[in-house]
């Protein structure tokens, strides 16, 4: 089942790429703002509502690095563990597997405001 990307996802994705300064966090290639080749990669996929909009769960990755990590999940795990350290990595896993009710209106408000504050 394909997960639909909605307005909240788009706002959050832009916030992540802005936070990461439009730079792939694995290979460090810099992209122009709004480049389609730079993705918002979710360590725990968007199907996990409780981490779908969690900044620690996401990084800006170029298409190639994003593909690499999906093809090599053990490498992705080690990279993410190094980034977050053990304690936060463990709490992120608990968060990912904890139920959260979907509230897209609130997410749109939250990430619209976050983008305004980042500018």
Range of the domain at 67: 7-107
- Per the domain annotation, does 75 fall within a domain? yes
The H-or-E segment that residue 51 falls in is helix 49-52
- Per the domain annotation, does 66 fall within a domain? yes
pLDDT at residue 1 in the model: 61
pLDDT digit string, tens, across residues 46-67: 999 999 999 999 999 999 999 9
- pTM of the full predicted structure? 0.94
Please say if the pLDDT value at position 2 is more than 90: no
| Nearest-angstrom CA–CA distance, 14 and 17 | 5
CA neighbor of 115 nearest in space, from 55, 50, 63: 55
Give the chain's domain count: 1
pLDDT digit string, tens, across residues 18-57: 999 999 999 999 999 999 999 999 999 999 999 999 999 9
Write down the mean pLDDT value for the chain. 96
- Per the domain annotation, does 118 fall within a domain? no
């Amino acid at each position: 089942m394909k997960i639909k990307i909605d307005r909240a996802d788009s706002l959050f994705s832009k916030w992540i790429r802005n936070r990461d300064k439009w730079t792939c966090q694995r290979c460090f290639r810099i992209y122009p703002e709004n480049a389609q080749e730079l993705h918002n990669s979710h360590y725990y996929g968007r199907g996990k509502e409780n981490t779908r909009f969690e900044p620690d769960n996401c990084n800006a990755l170029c298409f190639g690095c994003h593909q690499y990590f999906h093809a090599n999940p053990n490498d992705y795990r080690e990279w993410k563990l190094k980034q977050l350290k053990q304690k936060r990595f463990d709490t992120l896993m608990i968060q990912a597997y904890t139920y959260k009710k979907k509230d897209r209106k609130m997410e749109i408000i939250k990430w619209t405001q976050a983008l305004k504050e980042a500018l």
